[in-house]
Amino acid sequence: MSPWLHAQPNRLSRRIRLAEAIRYGLRHGQGLSEFLSDGRLEMDINTVEREIRPVAVTRKPALFAGSEGGGENGAIAVTLNRTAILNSVHPQARLTDVREQLVSGKVSNQGLASLLPWVWRDAKRAGLAA
- Give the pLDDT of residue 129: 53
Q: Are 107 and 115 in contact (CB under 8 A)?
A: yes
DSSP 63: T
Helices (H) then strands (E): counts for the chain: 8, 0
Mean pLDDT of 120-125: 88
Q: What is the mean pLDDT of the chain?
A: 83
Higher pLDDT, 128 or 99: 99
pLDDT at 30 over 50: yes
- Give the pLDDT of residue 92: 92
Mean pLDDT of 56-85: 78
Distance CA 80, CA 85 (A): 9
pLDDT at 57 over 80: no
Mean pLDDT of 66-93: 84
Name the residue type at position 42: E
Distance CA 109, CA 104 (A): 13
Output the CA–CA distances (angstroms, integers) from residue 79 to 48, 73, 83, 92, 112, in the order listed: 14, 10, 6, 13, 17
pLDDT at 20 over 60: yes
- Give the pLDDT of residue 130: 46
